[in-house]
Amino acid sequence: MRTASTVWLGKFRDIVARVGAAFREQREIEARRVLWRYRHLLEPAHEILPLNQFIPVSNQEDISENAHRSDACEHAARDPAFERA
The model's pLDDT over 26-69, given as tens digits with 9 standing for 90+, comes to 999 999 999 999 988 888 766 666 666 666 666 666 666 656 66
Residue-range domain boundaries for the chain: 4-43+56-78
pTM for the whole thing? 0.43
The confidence score (pLDDT) of residue 43 equals 82
Give every CB contact of residue 2 below 8 A, 6+ residues apart in sequence.
Answer: 10
Distance between CA atoms of residues 43 and 35, nearest Å: 11
DSSP 9-23: HHHHHHHHHHHHHHH
